[in-house]
């Protein structure tokens, strides 16, 4: 377990990972046995020039509770909002690019607070929460100079409407814009440091679908294929890799029957535009030499779209720009998809 608390561009970490705590090249690490000892280290770090400070403990949660008890602690919630084009909603506040978020009201849940803040700060309604991404923490001083630790819960949200964006000027928001996912990296340097982990996390998008939603999921995945031609699908037997590939091929307008090439290693399909799609299944290979004998380079580096089942059997041969999709079975009808772009 790890809790990372940002002080502007520096951070203080409480963790039970000993190796991480004592191998940082940009900071220092300390071990504590009594949770209350963390308060002195927290004070020291705030006044020091150290970039990264790691506290190793076997009990991260009680240690963090001590920090909350010794400082003003507030909770907030916000969202990474996607639209039908898979663009992300960014706002510009006080000269920084930001995500819609705000303080939770009394008796308000994290999820309801995230929806409310998104709708208030951007002037839209009908936000749907798809799942939680992570929590972030940062420190600032309030108007009375008291130190505040703010915990923000971040959610993956979806907006299907077409209302114009109306930035909430009374909250110092001057812009609200839909931004293509591939353009996000150019905005990250102009964001608060505590947001960068959130933006990195969305490169590994995660969402839950029912099998009846498989075609919609395929439509979303296709938006990642502009500069990718290798799609690796990970999942246990029966997870639905072939089913998802069938849906993806349908989006590519493949007219042929799509089946898993378990014994032939590769199937070749044609789209209505006469483009080629290759479908690999490496489950039954006995050695990597079989893949070399197949001439995998001619397929992978042809520029044609390649879907790969059981890519873990050939992990070292996958190109660097491979799109990875991890499929986890949640129930007979539910699957969790994680996309690593």
Q: Is residue 213 over pLDDT 70?
A: yes
The set of residues, in sequence order, having a beta carbon less than 8 Å from that of 297 and lying 6+ positions away, is none
pLDDT (0 to 100) of residue 50? 87
pLDDT (0 to 100) of residue 205? 65
Cα–Cα distance between 210 and 200 in angstroms, integer? Answer: 26
DSSP 258-311: P---TTTSEEEEEBTTS-EEEEEE-TT-SSTHHHHHHTHHHHHTSSSEEEEESG
Beta bridge partners of 221: none
Q: Which domains are assigned to the chain?
A: 2-70 (no CATH), 80-129+154-202 (3.90.79.10), 205-340 (3.40.50.300)
Q: What's the DSSP call for residue 254? A: B
SS (H, E, C) 320-339: CCCEEEEEEECCCCEEEEEE
The region of weakest confidence among 26-30, 136-140, 272-276, 288-292 is 26-30
Q: What's the DSSP call for residue 226? A: T
Cα-Cα-Cα-Cα dihedral sign, residues 258, 228, 133, 32: positive
Cβ atoms of 307 and 327 within 8 Å: the answer is no
The region of weakest confidence among 25-29, 147-151, 227-231, 331-335 is 25-29
Average the pLDDT over 324-340 and give the result. Answer: 85
Q: What is the largest distance, in Å, between two alpha-carbon atoms of the chain?
A: 71
Average the pLDDT over 296-312 and give the result. Answer: 93
- At 165-197, the pLDDT tens digits run 999 999 899 999 998 877 888 888 888 888 888
Q: Is residue 34 over pLDDT 80?
A: yes
Q: Is residue 55 over pLDDT 90?
A: no
Cα–Cα distance between 220 and 217 in angstroms, integer? Answer: 5
Cα–Cα distance between 10 and 158 in angstroms, integer? Answer: 32
Question: Mean pLDDT in the chain?
Answer: 87
Q: Is residue 37 over pLDDT 90?
A: no
Cβ atoms within 10 A of the Cβ of 338, count? 14
Q: What's the DSSP call for residue 105? A: P
């Amino acid at each position: 377990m790890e809790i990372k608390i940002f002080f502007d561009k520096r951070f203080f970490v409480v963790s039970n990972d000993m190796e991480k705590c004592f191998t940082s090249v940009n900071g220092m690490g300390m071990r504590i046995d009594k949770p209350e000892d963390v308060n002195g280290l927290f004070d020291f770090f705030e006044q020091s020039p150290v970039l990264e400070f790691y506290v190793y403990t076997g009990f991260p949660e009680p240690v963090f509770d001590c920090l909350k008890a010794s400082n003003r602690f507030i909770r907030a919630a916000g969202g990474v909002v996607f639209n039908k084009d898979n663009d992300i909603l960014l706002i510009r506040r006080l000269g920084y690019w930001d995500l819609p978020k705000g303080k939770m009201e009394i008796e308000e849940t994290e999820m309801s607070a995230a929806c409310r803040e998104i709708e208030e700060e951007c002037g839209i309604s009908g936000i749907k929460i798809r799942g939680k991404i992570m929590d972030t923490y940062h420190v600032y001083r309030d108007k009375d100079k008291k130190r505040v630790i703010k915990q923000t819960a971040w959610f993956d949200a979806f907006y299907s409407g077409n209302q114009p964006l109306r930035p909430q000027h009374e909250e110092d928001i001057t812009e609200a814009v839909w931004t293509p996912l591939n353009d996000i990296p150019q905005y990250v340097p102009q964001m608060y440091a505590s947001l960068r982990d959130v933006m990195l996390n969305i490169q590994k998008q995660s969402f839950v679908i029912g099998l009846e939603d498989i075609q919609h999921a395929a439509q979303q995945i296709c938006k990642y294929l502009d500069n990718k031609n290798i799609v690796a699908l990970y999942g246990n037997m029966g997870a639905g890799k072939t089913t998802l590939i069938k849906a993806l091929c349908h989006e590519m307008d493949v007219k042929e029957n799509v089946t898993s090439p378990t014994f032939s290693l590769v199937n070749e399909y044609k789209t209505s535009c006469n483009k080629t799609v290759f479908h690999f299944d490496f489950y039954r290979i006995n050695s990597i030499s079989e893949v070399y004998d197949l001439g995998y380079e001619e397929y992978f580096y042809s520029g044609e779209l390649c879907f790969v089942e059981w890519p873990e059997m050939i992990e070292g041969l996958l190109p660097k720009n491979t799109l990875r999709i991890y499929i986890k079975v949640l129930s007979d009808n539910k699957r969790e998809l994680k996309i690593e772009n």
